[in-house]
Amino acid sequence: MSSKTPSPLDQFLCLDLYTASRVVIQAYGPLLEKLGLTYPQYLVMSALWAQDELNVKDISEHLHLDSGTLSPLLKRLEAAGLVSRTRGKEDEREVRIALTAAGRALQQKSGAVSEGIGCILGMSPAEAQKLQKKLRALVGRIESAKPV
């Protein structure tokens, strides 16, 4: 009989968070494939479905993505005909992102993603909201503890 001694990694909350994030994102893969989107593209599209026409800075803040990650992603969405990018009239550094007709139409098909991931997670909406509230509180505490 073998007795397994706990690994020091068993105490790493960061490993559990990383693993959970990775497997949840992987679970989205087959659902998003039907929409022709990657997970980061889906996040951008979801932000735009909630509020069409956002500037890049707003999307970056909503999704916690830096511009180096966001810019090529937005270019690919534009090339796919799902969004348009326009420069600000008063400030050319500002880039506004808006849904195209095709981008809006894709929202109709996206409901299956939420339903599918809900089934995969096996959580009630109340359980998911409770977990989400705890995760957001954790992120908030970590961000407020960062040195300025």
CATH number at residue 138: 1.10.10.10
Three-class secondary structure of residue 22 per DSSP: helix
Domain count, the chain: 1
The residue with greater pLDDT, 94 or 127, is 127
Residue 126: inside a domain: yes
Location of structure tokens 């735009």: 48
| Average pLDDT of span 96-107 | 96
Share of the chain above pLDDT 90, in %: 73
What is the C-alpha to C-alpha distance for residues 74 and 85, in angstroms, rounded to an integer? 8
Residue 10 has a pLDDT of 82
Domain contains 88: yes
| 2-29 pLDDT per residue, tens | 567 777 888 889 999 999 999 999 999 9
Spatial CB neighbours of 34, under 8 Å, sequence gap ≥ 6: 109, 112
Give the domain range for residue 67: 12-143
- Asked whether residue 94 is domain-assigned, the answer is yes
Residue 61 maps to a domain? yes
